[in-house]
Structure 1
Amino acid sequence: MVSEAFTVDLNKPLVFQVGHLGEQYQEWVHRPIVCKEGPRLFANDVLEFLTRTQWWAIPLIWLPVVCWCLTTSIQMGHTLSEVALMVVFGICLWTLVEYIMHRFLFHINTKSYWTNTAHYLLHGIHHKHPTDGLRLVFPPAAAVILCFPFWNLIKLLTTTTTTHGVFGGAMLGYVMYDCTHYYLHHGQPSSDPGKHLKKYHLNHHFRIQDRGFGITSTAWDHVFGTLPPTKTTDKSS
């Protein structure tokens, strides 16, 4: 079989190679390569550029959206305390979405050419090269697309005048998530909760990758029984 004989050439663009791994893909992608420089994904320079994002682009782009949402809520007649409650609810909602996506989408088992390719672009690249600093946060172009179903989800859960406030809180939760994720890989926290979260997340990468799906919080791992065993790894990024 082709999938049994295929070997990925790390010196060539990877995206359209990994699908050929077939059933071997999951084993391959969860054997991390720890190096400062990430691989090239696309031969096309524009597509390659879109896969690389500086961490500071996330707050720079999305915090103004958060501010607009919260300002709109106030203009609709809500008090600051009401908006604060919406923000808290939005952040909590985001942590649940974060957990569900990480567990059930980012870690879905794939084996066909196109599902392997899609998984690699979505999350596999991060597990294969966990210290690639330009692929630790979600590219804004992709995030814009995902905002539409996320907005519609929140519309289903809220009233007309509270949608903006809850969405703003959820987007603030997203910014916290992506910045925290970057810090857990490239920062050196000396005290909790940062120190605990870093150890927790590196456990997920280097020791037991089907547990510990929370990034900004371990709460949902407690709720859904996906806490990793108590032994932790000493590896660092």
Structure 2
Amino acid sequence: MVAQEFTVDLSKPLVFQVGHLGEAYQDWVHQPIVSKEGPRFFANDFLEFLTCTVWWAIPTIWLPVVCWFITMSVRMGHTIPEVALMVMSGVFLWTLIEYTLHRFLFHMKTKTYWANTAHYLLHGCHHKHPMDGLRLVFPPAATAILCVPFWNMVKLIATPSTTPALFGGGLLGYVMYDCTHYYLHHGQPSKDLARNLKRYHLNHHFRVQSKGFGITSRLWDIVFETLPPSEISGKTC
């Protein structure tokens, strides 16, 4: 007797359903549902609340933290031009982190129950419901947890007095990334640069989901040769 294929019930909380898709999860999660109304994740109201974040919470919460880290390096004796260079270096480092996380973690292939569930919470939900405005930016509580390993990583490559400004620059890069990401989905850019970036990102969602991992720029897609075919041929996406 052939086992019946599992079907996700979109009218019920999704998180603990998607794992049952097994190997079919990858195909399911990359068939987007274009609706501004997001699905329910959990039956528990508190857990559901934790998954929802308005975009303006990101700069409101994290920009003061960025300023605090930057001023730490100033208080340790660095000049404003030196600190500015550290911050720009941190922003640049973030662009590589952004690309690496998106390509290798957010787009990892999963097929077991818990791996599918974790992937859906991390990034799969965004591909399934790309216009869900409350689950487009990263929840601050999760960001705070991830800041710990990133702080330790920066400490390994920097001195005690340069670490805060470098980390602050990286955190600033993250804020720019999350706000840019939200704008690319919900904004209506009038300038060519922003309009082309929006087209580039939506191409990743709706055409070639295995290419075009850069959000704030194409830089690392060019370096690591993951540009979408239409970009390589010089056509617009």
Q: 1:115 corresponds to which residue? A: 115
**Gap runs ≥5 in structure 2:** none
Matches within 5 A, 1:42-191: 42-191=42-191
Query: What's the CA shift string for 1:66-102, capped at 9, x where partnerless?
Result: 0001111100000000000001100000000000000
Letter of the structure 2 residue corresponding to residue 35 of structure 1: S
The normalised TM-score by structure 2 is 0.96
**Gap runs ≥5 in structure 1:** none
Give 1:208 deviation, angstroms: 0.2
Give 1:232 deviation, angstroms: 4.5
Q: Report if the CA contact (8 A) 1:90-1:166 is conserved.
A: yes
Q: Report if the CA contact (8 A) 1:203-1:232 is conserved.
A: no
Q: Distance in 1 between matches of 2:157 and 2:185?
A: 34
Q: 1:13 corresponds to which residue? A: 13
Give yes or no for the alignment of 1:216 onto 2:200.
no
Q: 1:226 corresponds to which residue? A: 226
How many residue pairs are counted as aligned between the two chains? 232
The normalised TM-score by structure 1 is 0.96
Q: Distance in 1 between matches of 2:236 and 2:11?
A: 33
Q: Distance in 2 between matches of 1:225 and 1:63?
A: 33
Query: What's the CA shift string for 1:129-154, capped at 9, x where partnerless?
Result: 00000011000011111000010111
Equivalent pairs: percent with the same residue? Answer: 73
Give 1:17 deviation, angstroms: 0.1
1:17 is paired with a residue of what secondary structure?
Answer: helix
Give 1:192 deviation, angstroms: 2.6
**RMSD of aligned residue pairs (Cα, Å):** 1.0
> Runs of at least 4 residues of structure 1 off by over 4 A?
none
Q: Distance in 1 between matches of 2:88 and 2:154?
A: 14
Q: 1:38 corresponds to which residue? A: 38
Q: Distance in 2 between matches of 1:163 and 1:150?
A: 11
Q: Distance in 1 between matches of 2:221 and 2:30?
A: 21
